[in-house]
Amino acid sequence: MRGLLAKRTSAGPLDYIHQGWMKLTLGLSFVFLYSPLLILVIFSFNDSRRNIVWRGFTTKYYEKAWNNDGLIEAFANSLTIAFLCTIISTILGAMVALLLWRFRFPLKGAYEGAMTLPIVIPEICMGVAMMAFFSRVGWPSGLVWPFNLSAITIAHISFCFPFVAVIVRARLANFNLELEEAAKDLGASEWQFFRDIMIPFMRPGLIAGALLAFTLSLDDFVITFFTSGPDTVTLPVKIYSMVRFSVTPEINAASTVLIAITLVLTTIALWLQSRAGQKLGH
């Protein structure tokens, strides 16, 4: 037992993680990346109007944010958009992934490239393009809720579904085609095969893709900013407009909630993907 422990603690030549300079670099990177977020979260509990000096612990700004109707409305809008965008992007993305995996057709490469374009295209371009598009076609504004969110939702779907498609496509690459033949051989129809074999196989990819689409939609600012009207404000846009007056702990509180949601969902998405990877590894 002692020998085993000794072996484990003595660093091998490729165990960079045990070397001092590596630990230091790693530590500094973490500080660089996460200290702003940490300060944001800490100061959301700061008992001070001005967000500079620590004046003691309070949760009153969470309360205040909760009672801020504009903020809550923006949050509700964000959640609605994210929810609709997730459902439609997941279905659309899964269908695109299936199409690209299953069929061969002319200009498939071009189609695949065009489909993934929203991932690489700068968001500001997407935003401007969306704004130009909606004003050109005369997209109706000022409709009743939730139809007033349709422009933003459509814009979100257009950049979210490629992420779903890429994730599901990667999962499908590992599909054993004999599973399909076996299902058909055992008497399954096309639809039964799809429901019983294909969807369960795609499920980890679908869930990971859906969660990614949800977080992307929830915290998108640039594209939303260009497509939102005066009466359709989302949480990131609302926070931005609040910051222009003054940075109060109320904004910190709202941002912290957004971070928490994003963090939880991303963790679930990563966990599901790694679990699916492990299963394939067996």
| x/- map, 161-190, other proteins, by CB under 8 A | ---------------x-xx-xxxxxxxxx-
CB of 106 to other proteins, least distance (A): 19
- Quote the tokens at residue 147: 């139809």
In contact, 100 and 175? CB cutoff 8 Å: no
CB of 281 to other proteins, least distance (A): 10
Q: Could you give the CA distance from residue 62 to residue 125 in angstroms, rounded to a whole number?
A: 35
Q: Could you give the CA distance from residue 54 to residue 43 in angstroms, rounded to a whole number?
A: 7
- 63 near other proteins, judged by CB under 8 A: no
| Region near other proteins per CB under 8 A, out of 88-96, 153-161, 191-199, 219-227 | 191-199
Nearer to other proteins, 64 or 203 (CB): 203
Give residues 194-253 in contact with other proteins (rule: CB under 8 A): 196-197, 200-201
Q: To 10 degrees, the CA torsion angle through 257, 262, 263, 267?
A: 150
Distances in whole angstroms, Cα of residue 69 to Cα of each of 21, 38, 74, 232, 261: 50, 27, 8, 14, 20
Give residues 16-45 in contact with other proteins (rule: CB under 8 A): none
Identity of residue 225: F
Residues in contact with other proteins, counted by CB under 8 A, come to a total of 19
Residues that bind other proteins (CB under 8 A): 176, 178-179, 181-189, 192, 196-197, 200-201, 279, 282
